[in-house]
Copies of this chain bind each other. A is one copy, B any other.
């Protein structure tokens, strides 16, 4: 039995003021419209309307998971430490997870993700290739002790995710399972009416191979991604530039070391060069200098070591790209203490060579690994540090005068950079991650020994895929993409009700007409919200716009002429229609 949500009894209080701490629109509007309520930093209570939207999203996710052949299970939120210790994540997560002890002093965590227990459950139940492929998922609470919970539901400490895992015995099988989930994600996000892009993501950190993220473009997004007009799209962490082609160095002058007083920065060095060692046929620019950045890498076990990366002087290191590149190490800037342990490094004047010999590099004098940006082509020549105070070297040529231990592609990406696949210049944009599909491979299966017998009776390690959707985040993302200055505008697929009927007037007849219309709409299968409060039309109109049901029918004065007003909340269109044709009008206009 359907029932209208009556605003006279609905547990709801709309607010006229934005919450003081709200920075993004979805946060402001979901709180003001009474969908959610803060219970603590990054922790939210769901009011009836918010729960309805969340439930409708979950229903769509479940339907598409079932269509993709994935079976629902449910794991605990509170988990013992041991599985996470076996994979090293108990330590790796650092401060980012909630840890606790039970009365017997045993260690537990509030699960931030469930890879370990999915893997162990399959290991527990299945033993043969005949049992595979298998795809299982859950919709469950996750916990992360975010340093800065913010933006309402977008970055919380308790949130709901759909997480699916696939189990196959072969890489080909994984490819099929991956594609099935990817297709399901496309169907889900389309049904939710979302504008999204699929970007290549960095797979390194998790030890897998193929990885793609579903991002909703939004200026408030925390993820930066790049895309070209030719269809390339990637997370900045995932983009990999080709190594520049070798250039002819046969006419490059020999390297020269010169005094370069007071040139500790790229800008001062470029000025000094143009004044004292002018270039043949044009000015020196920052792009002609090679900046040697000293990084401190911290391994998961806490071991700290230095690495130096030479990048063109017109670029900066991108911290996220550096962390992705050097994963699983953390990347920090070298400190004074780091430098004090390497007195041979002359800050501001570091370079690959010293007195004509290789200086940086694992096997060179410094013993410090040295990497170069992919733009450092064989044969390219550079102005760079000479490893002596106030001295630089000019025309230092890669492959002729100096070498490296390899590439480090960690420089920031700049709008206009060519896409690595040749599909045109890149533009940068920001997005909110709503989904992630990921070929985990055998990392967890190896760590937890998930093996099954193959056709020949031999034990083989299972290969896994991991597929996540941020369910509660989706509520905010939809609100973020679909609202105006007056309030929320829900797509029909997730709106608490498709139709919001307002009794605008004091006369009994207005209430009766609204009631009758609500009953009729329900019989037609609509979810209906009915504003049957004793309140002024102005209050009711403002609330209807704030609450954001896609269709609003105003029963008011027009009733005397047999007419009601029909609002299309999304387009803003308002038209007067006959009472008896209002619902038919909606039906004909529904997408």
Interface residues of A (CB under 8 A from B): 3, 9-13, 34, 37, 39-40, 43-48, 51, 66, 69, 71-80, 95, 98-100, 102-103, 108, 110, 117, 121, 124-126, 134, 136, 141, 143, 145, 147, 157-158
CB pair B3–A44 under 8 Å, yes or no, is no
CB pair B71–A46 under 8 Å, yes or no, is no
Name the residue in A71, A121, A134, A136 with the highest tally of chain B Cβ atoms < 10 Å from its Cβ: A71
Residue of B3, B40, B48 near A80 (CB, 8 A) is B40
Measured in the bound complex, the distance between the Cα atoms of B73 and A128 in whole Å is: 43
Could you tell me the distance in whole angstroms from the C-beta of A507 to the nearest C-beta in chain B?
21
Measured in the bound complex, the distance between the Cα atoms of B136 and A9 in whole Å is: 11
Residue of B44, B73, B98, B110 near A11 (CB, 8 A) is B73
Measured in the bound complex, the distance between the Cα atoms of B505 and A163 in whole Å is: 38
CB pair B121–A76 under 8 Å, yes or no, is no
Could you tell me the distance in whole angstroms from the C-beta of A66 to the nearest C-beta in chain B?
7
Could you tell me the distance in whole angstroms from the C-beta of A157 to the nearest C-beta in chain B?
7
B contact residues around A39 at 8 Å (CB): 75-76, 79-80, 117
CB pair A45–B76 under 8 Å, yes or no, is yes
The answer to whether residues A158 and B125 also contact, given A99-B100, A103-B95 and a CB cut-off of 8 A, is no
Could you tell me the distance in whole angstroms from the C-beta of A467 to the nearest C-beta in chain B?
16
The answer to whether residues A78 and B48 also contact, given A11-B134, A39-B117, A102-B145 and a CB cut-off of 8 A, is no
Measured in the bound complex, the distance between the Cα atoms of B46 and A74 in whole Å is: 5
CB pair B79–A43 under 8 Å, yes or no, is yes
The answer to whether residues A40 and B79 also contact, given A11-B125, A74-B46 and a CB cut-off of 8 A, is yes
Could you tell me the distance in whole angstroms from the C-beta of A455 to the nearest C-beta in chain B?
15
Measured in the bound complex, the distance between the Cα atoms of B48 and A563 in whole Å is: 52
B contact residues around A45 at 8 Å (CB): 73-76, 117, 121
B contact residues around A11 at 8 Å (CB): 71, 73, 125, 134, 136
Measured in the bound complex, the distance between the Cα atoms of B44 and A47 in whole Å is: 28
Measured in the bound complex, the distance between the Cα atoms of B124 and A12 in whole Å is: 11
CB pair A126–B73 under 8 Å, yes or no, is no
When C-beta atoms are compared, the residue in chain B nearest to A97 turns out to be B103
Measured in the bound complex, the distance between the Cα atoms of B39 and A73 in whole Å is: 13
Residue of B99, B100, B124, B134 near A37 (CB, 8 A) is B124
Residue of B13, B43, B75, B124 near A78 (CB, 8 A) is B43
Measured in the bound complex, the distance between the Cα atoms of B125 and A98 in whole Å is: 30
Measured in the bound complex, the distance between the Cα atoms of B51 and A367 in whole Å is: 58
Residue of B40, B74, B134 near A76 (CB, 8 A) is B40
Measured in the bound complex, the distance between the Cα atoms of B102 and A99 in whole Å is: 8
CB pair A43–B76 under 8 Å, yes or no, is yes
Measured in the bound complex, the distance between the Cα atoms of B47 and A121 in whole Å is: 9
CB pair A72–B43 under 8 Å, yes or no, is no
B contact residues around A37 at 8 Å (CB): 121, 124-125
Residue of B51, B99, B117, B158 near A77 (CB, 8 A) is B158
Measured in the bound complex, the distance between the Cα atoms of B126 and A34 in whole Å is: 12
The answer to whether residues A44 and B76 also contact, given A13-B126, A71-B11 and a CB cut-off of 8 A, is yes
B contact residues around A79 at 8 Å (CB): 39-40, 43
When C-beta atoms are compared, the residue in chain B nearest to A36 turns out to be B74
Could you tell me the distance in whole angstroms from the C-beta of A161 to the nearest C-beta in chain B?
14
